[in-house]
Amino acid sequence: MMAVREEGILSSLLKAFAKLPETKRLGEHRTPGSTLQVKGLKGSAYSLAVAALQVSRGNAGTTVVLMPSQEDASYLFSDLQLFFPEYQLYYLPCTLRDTRQALLEPVIQRNELVACQSDIASGTHATIVVTYLQAVAERFATSSVFKEHAFSLHAGSAISPRVLCDRLVEEGFEQVDFVYEPGQFARRGSIVDLFSLSDTLPFRIDFLGNTVDSLRQFDVDSQQSVRKVETISVIPPTGGEGAVHETSLLEILPAGALVWGEEIPEQLLGYENFYQKLELRQRQHFIAPLELKELFLRYPLVEGGLQLLGSYEGLLDLHTVAQPPFQKNFSAVAQRIETDWGRGIKTYISAEQPSQLARLQAIFDELGVPRERYTLVQASLWGGFSSQLLELNLFTDHQIFDRYHKYTLRKQLPKRDAFSVKEMQALKPGDYVVHADHGVGVFEGLIRTEENGVAQEYVRLSYQDKDTILVSIHNLHRLSKYRGKEGEAPVISKLGSAAWSRMKAKAKGKVKDIARDLIQLYARRREEKGFAYGADTYLQETLEASFIYQDTPDQLEATRAVKADMERPVPMDRLVCGDVGFGKTEIAIRAAFKAVSDSKQVAVLVPTTVLALQHY
């Protein structure tokens, strides 16, 4: 049985960190402008220390954690999500994605800003804000501005499409043909598409006269409805343009808030360069460097690094060291586990995927490491460390195997495969498109027409004899881009003819014939005797754990299916399909290695010489 204990392990580690005298002193730090200097925090020990600080403060008050970069902030936030509920934790990025162009605030930040300001003001529960210097220095609209300009719509609301569109323009929304990012809207007759800054998906508002008939969220790419809703909150991009109603994070924090930062003076020097490169119109949305320094000194500071911003009040050493670079040397990991066990030091190893935990279990079993001497934990952590004070190791699988580790921010709704607006916008007049009912046609572009005084948008397709049809954008799911032999033009279909229907019927007939032949073939093959490969070996587990990227769910499923086929005593028939870069070769390597491990040969056939050299 696998030695995995998920619940309780991280919480017990957090409580142990919170009981340390060093953490308790951090929690008692209250003097504005003074600094407690901390050192000896490596990897995810930093995350645990921040979380433990909040616990030691009675899970009350506000803590702002200032990381050296957006990437560092993202990794810290990803770790902290393991310890705190979503309503208590905020990640605030800077909205300026390019120093020469201020872009619309991402919906994730506008949502965070509104909720964060409300929670800080109410003080009803502890609040942790993870950010970096450019984001801290950026001014944003106050929550009162959002509340003043926000409004809601529900099924049955008495408002006409024209009045709604006029208000959206007044509130700063941009009118476009198709919405694809927050702050946009589009009108097509009695339908208004609206991308509010309150959600990660846009809304489609259907009117019946001057009344809202229905509200639906839809996917940007496919334009198809995701779900029906009764009420929507419309948060406009108003406020990002007016400095009169703007504030900053450091200006709204309560007096008891704590600011924790790494190398703040050095970050301020970098910010001065950033500020000087801003255009004049952008500077009004950022705090001047000298003013920013004064704002930091309003609060008690916890600082890491050699240079300090506040007045020195003491040094706290948490005595952790970074996880050693094992570099896939499993024997070295096993030796470390055994040695530390003899010294009374516990070892925990974390991995995000259960499959990776199973591989680790099999490897350590093969190396003869008793299971009671280590604990596997299913958790995605930033970096491993060893704690002298707590007498424990917390290692991560991605560092053991030199794998790439990706942070996780707020979860978003999955997208579906479909003929997307982006794909349609990439089409050029003259490209071939297939309509499910009318066959192969030529894309002529997007047009706008009026029916009974109401504007409608369509995709124009042309067919033989210069016939054309107009396809509403609500029926994009009926269209697909033509994909045939490269360099060969398809035969354009003729409208009104039965040729396309006959072609589809003929294709269906051929598919049935192929299916019938395949059923007969597979029936015969199941009666034949094949070679059944053995179960995965230690070497197989080692190879699969060594890939630098975490397996995707599709890769895991495909790998399981391929191995199951190979271990059956019947001939194998398995086709693995996927787009370029989706990990098909990794699955093939796993299968090839499994065959070689059972003393079989593997032939790798590829269509070109270049691919043959790449695989070699």
Q: Are residues 473 and 441 in the same domain?
A: yes
Among 99, 112, 149, which residue's Cα sits nearest to residue 249?
112
Residue 200 has pLDDT above 80, yes or no: no
Please check whether residues 544 and 438 belong to one and the same domain.
no
Nearest to 161 by CA among 193, 135, 202: 193
Kindly state whether residue 502 falls inside one of the protein's structural domains.
Answer: no
What's residue 1's pLDDT? 40
Question: Is 591 exposed, middle or buried (CB count within 10 Å of its CB: 0-12, 13-18, 19+)?
Answer: buried
| 258 and 115 co-located in one domain | yes
How far is Cα 303 from Cα 301, in angstroms, rounded to an integer?
6
End position of a domain, from candidates 469, 497, 525:
497
pLDDT tens digit string along 65-103? 999 998 899 899 999 988 887 667 888 888 764 432 333
Q: Which of 10-14, 282-286, 417-421, 479-483 has the lowest mean pLDDT?
A: 417-421
Please tell me whether residues 301 and 256 are part of one structural domain.
yes
- Which tens digits make up the pLDDT trace of 252-287? 888 789 999 989 999 999 999 999 988 887 888 899
Average pLDDT over residues 318-334: 92
| CATH code of 122's domain | 3.40.50.300
pLDDT score for 314: 94
Residue 333 has pLDDT above 60, yes or no: yes
For tokens 């107009």, the residue is: 470
Q: Is residue 439 part of a domain?
A: yes
Q: What is the pLDDT of residue 101?
A: 32
pTM listed for this prediction = 0.64
Same structural domain for residues 491 and 475?
Answer: yes
Partners of 302 in beta bridges: 36, 260
What is the structure's pLDDT at 418? 40
Rg (CA), the chain: 30
> Is residue 105 scored above 70 in pLDDT?
no
- Grade residue 409 by pLDDT with cuts at 50, 70 and 90: confident
Under the banding of pLDDT at 50, 70 and 90, the label for residue 25 is very high
443 shares its domain with 582: no
Quote the pLDDT of residue 243.
38
pLDDT of residue 188: 83
* Same domain, residue pair 257 and 130: yes
Same domain, 34 and 137: yes
- Is residue 11 included in any domain, yes or no? no
Q: Which residue has the higher pLDDT, 22 or 610?
A: 22
Q: What average pLDDT score do residues 357-378 get?
A: 91
Mean pLDDT over each residue of the chain, to the nearest integer: 83
Say how far residue 182 (Cα) sits from the centre of its chain: 17
**Highest-scoring range by mean pLDDT, 221-225, 378-382, 434-438:** 378-382
Co-location of 30 and 129 in the same domain: yes
Last residue within a domain, chosen from 234, 268, 299: 234
Ranges 9-13, 189-193, 576-580: which has the least confidence: 576-580
CA distances from 293 to 218, 388, 608 (A): 45, 35, 61
> Is 85 a domain residue?
yes
Written as six digits, the tokens of 388 are 């002298």
pLDDT at 244: 45
Question: How much is the average pLDDT of 291-320?
Answer: 94
Residue 296 has pLDDT above 50, yes or no: yes
Residue 391's pLDDT band (cuts 50, 70, 90)? very high
Name the domain boundary from 317, 348, 369.
317
Are residues 362 and 257 both part of a single domain?
no
Same domain for 332 and 209: no
What's CA 612's distance to the chain center, in Å? 34
Residue 457 · residue 446 · CB < 8 Å: yes
- Give the pLDDT band of residue 507 (cuts 50, 70, 90): confident
Which of 45, 242, 284 has the alpha carbon at shortest distance from 146?
242
Answer whether residue 512 is part of any domain.
no
Banded model confidence at residue 371, pLDDT cuts 50, 70, 90:
very high
Helix (H) and strand (E) counts in the chain: 21, 27
Given this model, what pLDDT does residue 530 score? 85
| In a domain? residue 527 | no
Provide the domain count of the chain.
5
Lowest-pLDDT range, 196-200, 330-334, 453-457, 556-560? 453-457
Measured CA distances, 274 to 124, 134, 261, 314, 526 (Å): 36, 8, 19, 32, 68
Structure-model confidence comparison of residues 447 and 195, the more confident one: 195
**In the structure, what pLDDT confidence band is assigned to residue 572 with cuts at 50, 70 and 90?**
confident
Q: What is the CATH number of the domain that holds 182?
A: 3.30.2060.10
| pLDDT category of residue 182 using cuts at 50, 70 and 90 | confident
Structural domain contains residue 515: no
Q: Is the pLDDT of residue 245 over 80?
A: no
Residues 170 and 300 in one domain: no
For the chain, what percent of residues have pLDDT higher than 70? Answer: 85
41-71 pLDDT, tens digit per residue, is: 999 999 999 999 988 887 778 899 999 998 8
Percent of the chain with pLDDT over 90: 34
Per the structure, the complete domain to which residue 450 belongs is given by: 421-497
Q: CA triplet 533, 538, 544: central angle to 5 degrees?
A: 85
Which range has the worst mean pLDDT, 487-501, 539-553, 586-600? 539-553
Is 365 within the bounds of a domain?
A: yes
**Position 217: which residue type?**
Q
